[in-house]
Amino acid sequence: MPDKKCIENEQNDCVMPVRSANPIRARSLIRDNLEKQAGCLNLIHSRMPNIKVFSGTSHPDLAQRIVDRLGIDLGKVVTKKFSNLETCVEIGESVRGEDVYIVQSGSGEINDNLMELLIMINACKIASASRVTAVIPCFPYARQDKKDKLAGSEDNAESKKLAKKNYDWKFRSRAPISAKLVANMLSVAGADHIITMDLHASQIQGFFDIPVDNLYAEPAVLKWIKENIPEWKNSIIVSPDAGGAKRVTSIADRLNVEFALIHKERKKANEVASMVLVGDVKDKIAILVDDMADTCGTIVHAADRLVEAGATKVYAILTHGIFSGPAISRINNACFEAVVVTNTIPQDGHMRDCPKIQCIDVSMMFAEAVRRTHNGESVSYLFSNVPY
């Protein structure tokens, strides 16, 4: 009777060896069959899912610019609030097996927008999305990234007296690390990947157990300086605090100019006590570079200090222009030639109220990051180049 070497599997058309008089031949058939099945599985996993981009309510203009560059339409989503101000989100199209990107910046009503982002992520995840990426141009609570308050100082009688009178921020030792809390919330909601820009502190990436792509505004800043400041070769790049030294040295090296920094001391949050300039800015164009400006007390004081030290012109270039409280009036009354910000936060209202504010569009960087992520390509090109 002839040996039965194989039978066909009707469900997957794979050949499965049954019995052979030659054990070596049987093992060979099994190995060939397993390799064929592995090839089928690899083919399935190599297929990229379709892409869907949804926008939260914090920055719809940026989301629209991103999809326009990608050549696709924004996904349909309805966001509303109940009478008790609970947020309700309804995804208006199927996301099953899709590669989903949700654009939501940490601006405006930050707490509401953060909650909206978490609900959108969870809604897509439980609707069987293949992957959910949160595109967060300005990461919320990024300034609360470490427990750096002076522990135990309230035990001193004078310190306790000051703390009780002014609630001075230096004396609260039980400070939260809210950026870590936000990272946990995003992960628990179901985010598989984060794309953001110019984190206030790079260590925030370590708060996540999922991939985080921290893009840099530096290439766009360099392009703006070369195109809009004619005498940029006679400029000096200045950091308004010691924490931004690495940022300004990188820009100064690529422009082949000098850099300086300002050491500041605070008595209270949003209140600068004194500033010491380290570097020579006399007869030079000073370009202040920082990752964000909120009430603008720091950069306005820094600009005044630079003019006192002999700077001919002062520019400020910021990634995230929050501009809360008295920020706009301070900028209008300051000695800036221009205050340049990116559109990680909506700037239309600020630009109407303050003619000194100019905006750099970074939507092409986020669009390219989305495209490269979707196609499984490297995004490191964006760390030093502006995509056109």
**pLDDT digit string (tens) for 108-130?**
899 999 999 999 999 999 999 99
Place of tokens 């002839």: 2
339 vs 357: CA distance, rounded Å:
5
| pLDDT tens digits for range 337-371 | 999 999 999 999 999 999 999 999 999 999 999 99
| Selection from 103, 129, 99 nearest residue 116 by Cα | 103
Domains within the chain, CATH numbers bracketed: 51-145+174-215 (3.40.50.2020), 217-360 (3.40.50.2020)
Q: Which residue has the tokens 């600020």?
A: 350
Please report, for residues 55, 103, 281, 363, the alpha-carbon distance to residue 215 in angstroms, rounded to integers and kept in the order given. Answer: 19, 15, 30, 12
What pLDDT was estimated at residue 45? 39
User: In the structure, what pLDDT confidence band is assigned to residue 278 with cuts at 50, 70 and 90?
Assistant: confident
Report which of 62, 195, 57, 174 is spatially closest to residue 116, judged by C-alpha positions: 57
Q: Supply the mean pLDDT for the chain.
A: 84
Q: How does pLDDT run across 38-85, given as a tens digit for each residue?
A: 454 443 334 445 899 999 999 999 999 999 999 999 999 999 999 998
Residue 244, pLDDT above cutoff 80: yes
**C-alpha span between 251 and 286 (Å, rounded):** 13
